[in-house]
Structure 1
Amino acid sequence: MGYFVDQLINGLTLGSVYGLIAIGYTMVYGIIGMINFAHGEVFMIGAFISLIVLLLLAQLGVAAVPLAILVTLVLTAVFTALWGFVVERIAYRPLRGSFRLAPLISAIGMSIFLQNLVQLLQGARVKPLPPVLTGRIPLGSIGDHQLSVAVVQVVIVVVTVVLMAGFSLVVSRTALGRAQRACEQDRRMAELVGVNVDRTISLTFVFGAALAAVAGLLYTIYYGSIDFFIGFFAGLKAFTAAVLGGIGSLPGAMLGGLLIGLIEALWSAYSDIQYKDVAVFAILVLILLFRPTGLLGRQEVEKV
């Protein structure tokens, strides 16, 4: 039982990272109806920026870990958000009025470009990071098994909950959120009543990239190593999480991320780890067979 609880904690930690990335997919799809397949590479860029900033702060002698993480979080979010803005301006905005496959092909091309750009600039080798957050918090015991949770796992879950709650308030209570919901329902009508559609879409990409940057930082300090290819697998899992939870639903994206994290952790613990991805996609197919809109998705109504 104690081992099972440990795997639940590992799954929730991994699922939190997937959920943060999945929110970026579901926000973009909710507004413009397209999948930003370059979003995984934006997450990867955020991970590299966080690694560079952390190493620079260490060289400058910043010894306070909370301060170093806070500075890294801010700088990573800012610079990665700029990448998100650039992706929207280059890969999406010029093709917004084109046929539906054009932005999709452009996003795939941007994904390949960013992946190879980072490979050329940073090299193909794995980049290690010394442990930043160490220590464990005891939770008691179950039989002879001592339960504990790593400090970094607590930080990941807490940051994810805070960001999810904060962004939900932004979408439901602010002018930007109202503009986003208006664009989601009908972009043309939103523009007619005074909503700046271009700015709203750009800010959506910026916010999604900032959340991916936070996920990149959390991933870096949790695993302690990154490479130029992490965006492909993490982006694929996050996209799967968005579809599983109901693409277009923010709570659904987070729920899907948590479920995939738990499936991976439990399957790796109790079965052959080589087939954990097979288990994830098999469960996705089963759920979509009975609920095509995902767990929290809603049926789209065709506008005529």
Structure 2
Amino acid sequence: MQHLTNGISLGSLYALIAIGYTMVYGILRLINFAHGEIFMMSLYFAFYGVAMFAMPWYIAFIVTILITAVLGMLVERAAYKSLRDAPRITIMVSAIGASFFIQNLAIVLFGGRPKTVPTVEVLSGVIKLGSVSLQRLTLVIPVVTILLLFLLMFLVNQTKTGMAMRAVSKDYETARLMGIDVNKIITITFGIGSALAAIGGIMWGAKFPKIDPFVGTMPGIKCFIAAVLGGIGNIPGAVIGGFILGIGEIMLIAFLPSLTGYRDAFAFILLIIILLFKPTGIMGEKIAEKV
């Protein structure tokens, strides 16, 4: 039970970040490789808000989410907007370039030396349930993830903006003819995905307080794998993929401690298996490529 709760907590973090990947892919059919670096920047925003500007933690977290959302929209404008009709390979190269640019910008701005996120007392307390000891944060993370999933599904399925997102995901040329501002919808999508990455980053920093300019690389790759596992382009699928990956990782090292060094390899093995036997993922659908 102790390991299961830890796995659910880690899976919730993966799910939050994976949603950003799957939202962008669902609309633009491209992988935003800079998403892991946006997650990393949110950690630094939170760190400096609390440590340097002495903001109360809840104010620092709100500011972090807003700034990260703006950063995501700026990345979309700078790296993707002008390539809207370019070949997929061109957009992919631009995404990789944006990722390296943000990573190196962080090294220049914040330095390469690791920093420690200040402890938030509200989240760091320990709760005992029988023989199971849980950090309060371990219970908070899944609850926040599920609440955000429901809010996001409401946005996508019940609002005009969500309707426009679904229209753009089907065919943005036709959506444009129907009067939808495609550029605005894509920018909003990047903003929402980046805000979710910021929330995930804040909770990641509370759980794993060490941060550096490369902290987003491996979580970013794993969350991409979670999105593929669940069916990239499908929001509930990304959440399911995140939970499967997080619980699988923790259970692997719990029951087979000799394989602890192969913890990261587990995600890549899972990716290979899903691509071999169900390339569309658990909840994904086959989509015809546009020529």
Alignment of 1:30 with 2:26, yes or no, is yes
Query: Shift in Å at residue 160 of structure 1?
Result: 1.1
SS of 1:230 mapped into structure 2:
coil
Question: Within 1, Cα distance between the matches of 2:132 and 2:26?
Answer: 41
* TM-fit CA distance, 1:138: 1.8
Normalising by the residue count of structure 1, what TM-score does the alignment of the two structures yield? 0.91
Q: Which residue of 2 aligns with 1:233?
A: 218
- 1:303 positional shift: 5.8
2:238 maps to 1:278: no
Distance change in 2, residues 1:274/1:75 (3 Å): same
Q: State whether residues 138 and 147 of structure 1, in contact with CA within 8 Å, keep that contact through their aligned partners in structure 2.
A: yes
Structure 2 unaligned runs (5+)?
A: none
1:192-211 paired onto structure 2 within 5 Å: 192-211=177-196
Per the alignment, residue 21 of structure 1 pairs with: 17
Match of 2:202 in 1: 217
The Cα of 1:130 is off from its aligned counterpart by 3.5
Select the residue among 95, 99, 102 that pairs with 2:90: 102
Structure 1 residue 291 corresponds to structure 2 residue 278 = yes
Equivalent-residue separation in structure 1 for 2:152 and 2:265 (angstroms): 32
1:43 maps to what in 2? 39
The match for 1:10 is: 6
Aligned residues with identical type, % of pairs: 44
SS in 1 for 2:216: helix
> Structure 2: which amino acid aligns with 1:203?
I
Aligned amino acid, residue 287 of structure 1: I
Q: Tell me, what secondary structure is at the counterpart of 1:98?
A: coil
Deviation of 1:283 after TM superposition, in Å, equals 2.2
**Further displaced range: 279-288 or 167-176:** 279-288
1:31-80: CA deviation from partner (whole Å, max 9, x where unpaired): 111110001000000111011112246x36x4xxxxx2x31221011100
Amino acid in the other structure paired with 1:259: I
Equivalent position SS for 1:299: coil
Q: Report SS of the residue matched to 1:300.
A: coil
Alpha-carbon distance in 1 for matches of 2:97, 2:182: 25
Q: Which amino acid aligns with 1:149?
A: L
Contact 2:106 2:213 in 1 (8 A): yes
Residue 255 of structure 1 deviates from its aligned partner by: 0.8
Q: CA deviation at 1:147?
A: 1.1
User: How far is the alpha carbon of 1:8 from its aligned partner?
Assistant: 1.0
2:50 corresponds, among 44, 51, 54, to: 54
Query: Which of these residues, 99, 113, 125, is aligned with residue 135 of structure 1?
Result: 125
- The TM-score with structure 2 as length reference comes to 0.95
8 A contact 1:242–1:256 mirrored in 2: yes
Q: Match of 1:143? A: none
Distance 1:51 1:160 in 2: 22
**SS state of the match for residue 198, structure 2?**
helix
State the one-letter code of the partner of 2:133: S
Q: Give aligned pairs, total.
A: 287
For 1:255 and 1:39, locate their aligned partners in 2 and report how far apart those are by CA, in whole Å. 19
CA RMSD of aligned residues (A): 1.4
Alignment-mate amino acid for residue 285 of structure 2: R
Q: CA deviation at 1:284?
A: 2.4
Match of 1:112 in 2: 100
Give the gaps of 5 or more residues in structure 1. Answer: 63-67, 141-145
Displacement of 1:302: 4.7
Q: After TM superposition, what 4+ stretches of structure 1 lie above 6 angstroms from structure 2?
A: none
CA contact (8 A) 2:223 2:242 kept: yes
Report if aligned partners of 1:51, 1:217 keep a CA contact under 8 Å in 2. Answer: no
